Amino acid sequence: MPAGAFRPARLFLWLLLLAPATLHADTLSILSWDEWVRVEHVIDGDTFVTDGHEKVRLLGINAPEIMHNDRPGEPLGETARRQLRKLVEGKRVRLAFDRQRHDDYGRKLAHVYVDGLWVNGRLVELGLAHVYTFAPNFKRTAELLALERKARDKRLGIWGVSRFRVLQADRLQHTHIGQFRVVEGRIDNAGAWDFHLGRLHVSIPKKSRTWFATPLDLQPGQKVLVRGKIRVSSRGRLYLALYSPYDLEVR
């Protein structure tokens, strides 16, 4: 055999290294970063603890909050927790990771699969969680958004209650400050990295612009949907920051 030729075993290894990290939802890929764990107990609608005492946060979604200490719960928070318990508690599940494996709290960030079911997607599909994505973890975000749109259109789960349903920009009030909301409206004026929806100033922070292929090209009168936390500036102006292209939808 010539000195530069691949042996069959070596060629097979190279093929494995070049293969996609994950194959199908109900199979464990070879040489992937996936990990199998057993779920000890569920904390809330998007977080659980493994039998190895590690906390896992479902990636790309956010379920309503449950009551915690003196903080009241949000509508359907307990429903979301019960659903996650039904899906994963006591079961062996597969964790599929994206580029960033842990958050600032040390929790593992993962897409979770059990018996071939994509748990993150199922919760969104049922209207028990909304899409909640931050860079650099964009794996399967487009699919999550498609599931969310269907749930919103049918007013399933959280989309049927005032706390979460799509908020029209002209109805924005200071009582919405601090809430994560999906806001819809028509653009009044727009720049390269910001625009206004009535009283709401929407902008892309400098550190997040790298995730956008180009500056914005929006025109007055265009209808858009944005997602993020409603905040107030030191001047009393309501604003919302976009951290990824998935936080903006041109209607």
Gap between the Cα atoms of 238 and 251, Å rounded: 22
Would you call the peptide bond into 2 cis, given omega within 30 degrees of 0 as the criterion?
Answer: no
Query: What are the DSSP E strand ranges found in the chain?
Result: 35-44, 47-50, 55-58, 61-62, 92-96, 108-114, 117-118, 130-131, 167-168, 180-186, 189-190, 194-197, 200-203, 223-229, 231-232, 238-241, 248-250
pLDDT in tens, 195-244: 999 999 999 999 999 999 999 999 999 999 999 999 999 889 999 999 99
Gap between the Cα atoms of 52 and 69, Å rounded: 26
Is 18 a residue whose pLDDT tops 70? no
Exposed e or buried b per residue across 101-134, where buried means at least 16 C-beta atoms within 10 angstroms of its C-beta: eeeeeebbbbbbbbeeebbbbbbbbbbbbbbbbb
pLDDT in tens, 149-178: 999 999 999 999 999 999 999 999 999 999
Taking the CA atoms of residue 165, residue 169, residue 170 and residue 172 in that order, the dihedral angle to the nearest 10 degrees is 70
Task: State the average pLDDT over residues 4-15.
Answer: 44
Half-sphere exposure at residue 185, Cβ-oriented, CA atoms within 13 angstroms: 23
Q: At 33, is the pLDDT very low, low, confident or very high (cuts 50, 70, 90)?
A: confident
As annotated, the active-site residues are 57, 65, 107
Gap between the Cα atoms of 182 and 83, Å rounded: 23
pLDDT in tens, 43-71: 999 999 999 999 999 999 999 999 887 78
Domains contained in the chain, CATH given = 35-159 (2.40.50.90), 166-250 (2.40.50.140)
Gap between the Cα atoms of 188 and 168, Å rounded: 14
Mean pLDDT of the chain: 89
Taking a C-beta distance cutoff of 8 angstroms, is the pair 34, 22 a contact? yes
Q: At 24, is the pLDDT very low, low, confident or very high (cuts 50, 70, 90)?
A: very low
Gap between the Cα atoms of 79 and 95, Å rounded: 23
